[in-house]
Amino acid sequence: MKLKKIILKNGMPAFLFKIPSSKSVTTLVMFKTGSKYENLKNSGLSHFLEHMFFKGTEKRPTTRDISGELDSIGAEFNAFTGKEYTGYYIKSQKAKVDIALDVLSDMLINSKFEQEEIDRERGVIVEELNMYEDNPLMHIEDVFESCLYGNTPAGWETIGFKKNILNLNRQDFLNYYNSQYGANGSAIFVAGNFSEEKIKKSLEKKFGNFKKNKYKNKIKVIEKQKTPNLKIKNKKTDQITLSLGFRAFPAGHKDERILKLLSVILGGSMSSRLFIGLRERRGLAYYVRSGVELYSDCGYISVQAGIPKNKLEESIKVILSEYKKLKNDLVSSEELKKAKDLFAGRLIVGMEGTDDFTNWYGHQFPFSNKFLSPDEVLKKVEKVSSKDIKRVANNLFMNNKLNLAIIGEGIKDSDVKKYLKI
């Protein structure tokens, strides 16, 4: 099975992945825009606009008209906003794909963005923002990225500033939509069991007249760091939540798969080094994990954990010691094989639905013109050696790339900075 590319009459690319055994079809429309494409005055607009596409068109005037029609065919539908992309998808039974395409294109091309609906939705988004801020495990990466990138779009939260959410008006939405939404900077991904001839005709009919927009690119991230960075968000909590990590490199870097395997070894599973060292042996955390986030012009690896208030120093030392071990010692062949098998198993298990395929290819779109299949990624992973792991660890785990974000109560910079060195 191969990804097939077609170009609509307006220049918009569509990528088709046919799965004959499937009983469903998923269509995902990705836009190469998100919160890093905003400024101080409209921060949060990308996410707010995502909500507004579900509020009504001329053909389907209300939210109920849109959701009711999709519910009537048993479809799954949603949207998501990131820092460098925004996506909208519908998954339906294969016999109903034309209805799904009609609704999806109508939402994206003909939404009304009524001021009354904008005003009504403000409260919803403010409560969504409050939900994140009240959950440190959900919020800690926002604080970590603020530590990394400061007062820039890359360092702001995707959901935006509360004052903007309360004051953005219809013209703000139209300005952003006319710039960032259209045939330029977007792509369609379709996966499932469909007639190729029929899907091509339907895509052309539904999306071929999507306007050619004057797409505006984001400000590039400039990384300048000489010493370890620390950011503390004071908040009354029952535990301390932290994220400790290092600047890395952008998506598509030659060492991307090596870094992801390194993260698996560090804290990517219940048998990983940090899960055992921080939780099982020392009882310092219930929640502990590591992860890699790579953007088009920057990236990082981090470890997140929720720890007791009186165990911050010990926890930082344990986490940093595991980072150091990856710099100083070769990972055994047995541990590396286990990490590769875990990576492969999760990837394969995570590719069983048509929506998994659209997500797989769609999330590569903002970062590359060439998409890698799951098999191609697994081949790259299989070639990673213990020496590769050690090389990347030594390249990245340095004091001038070290960052720590903390959410907790009564913590002073002076209490923490003295431990921040590797």
Q: State the catalytic residues.
A: 50
Q: Which residues contact 361 (CB under 8 A, 6 or more apart)?
A: 3, 15, 17, 189, 191, 371
d(CA 161, CA 143): 14
Task: Residue 309: name the closest of 418, 407, 403, 414 by CA.
Answer: 407
Strands (E), 162-286: 186-192, 229-234, 240-247
**Cα–chain-centroid distance for residue 79?**
12
Residue whose structure tokens are 């097939």: 4
> Strands 240-247 and 229-234: what pairing?
unpaired
Residues 376-390 as b/e (b if ≥16 CB within 10 A, e otherwise) read: ebbeebeebeeebbb
Q: Which residues contact 170 (CB under 8 A, 6 or more apart)?
A: 113, 114, 115, 118
Residue whose structure tokens are 């939780």: 279
Structure tokens at 319: 């986490």
Name the burial class of residue 145, with classes exposed (0-12), middle (13-18) and buried (19+) by CB atoms within 10 angstroms of its CB.
buried
Structure tokens at 51: 């909500």
